[in-house]
Chains A and B, each alone.
Chain A
């Protein structure tokens, strides 16, 4: 069974731009969660989507948004990029959510200049 895939793997943007990251979960998984990983703050929960609905949200500004499609693929969007948004963005999928094993993708490394 294929694992979680994330595209692109690396991205360089400038301040003020917006970016869209994509995540394809493991086949059959309906829950997709997004996390931000930085050296200073560690791994932080952004939001979770389940059956195309945002079910939970972490403590991030409204510039961070996401959506999930009917095939469970998910996208995450960050608008008006700031230098502090430079991070590894990880997507995790599971059948039903954070109370089960979450399988992480390799992440998208975003650098904001």
Chain B
């Protein structure tokens, strides 16, 4: 059972454009939603994260939009640059008892920014 569905699988955007990646989750107990960026040969690195008490969070060129009623959240990359070319993963976790469950990841989006 895939608890976090991510789309699209791959995305090509022109330099300077807006990259948009979407995720949908099923478990209403999730209460932490991070986005990770992964370059080839490297581990994932946290980009930005949001909790369900806010609908939007912006850090530089990266913005998360969160829709609790629809159980969806998305990543927007403004003014996309070739250096943003990487694989992006959305994730979710929930707090349970003495600690949080592990992160449940989406399948990833391979983003290519064309110069």
Contacts and interface: CB of A to CB of B under 8 A. Distances in A.
Contact of A55 (B32, B42, B98): B98
A56 B43 contact: no
B89 interface: yes
Given A43-B89, A99-B32, A106 B42 contact: yes
Contact of B102 (A58, A96, A104, A107): A58
Contacts, number: 71
Given A104-B43, A105-B43, A48 B102 contact: yes
Contacts of B104: 45
Helix, strand, loop or mixed for chain A's interface?
strand
Contacts of B46: 101-103
Interface of B: 32, 34, 36, 41-46, 49, 89, 91, 93, 95-96, 98-108
Interface in A43-61: 43-48, 50, 55-56, 58
A-B complex: 3 closest residue pairs judged by Cβ atoms: A45-B102, A104-B43, A98-B100
Given A43-B89, A99-B93, A33 B102 contact: yes
A21 B71 CA distance: 36
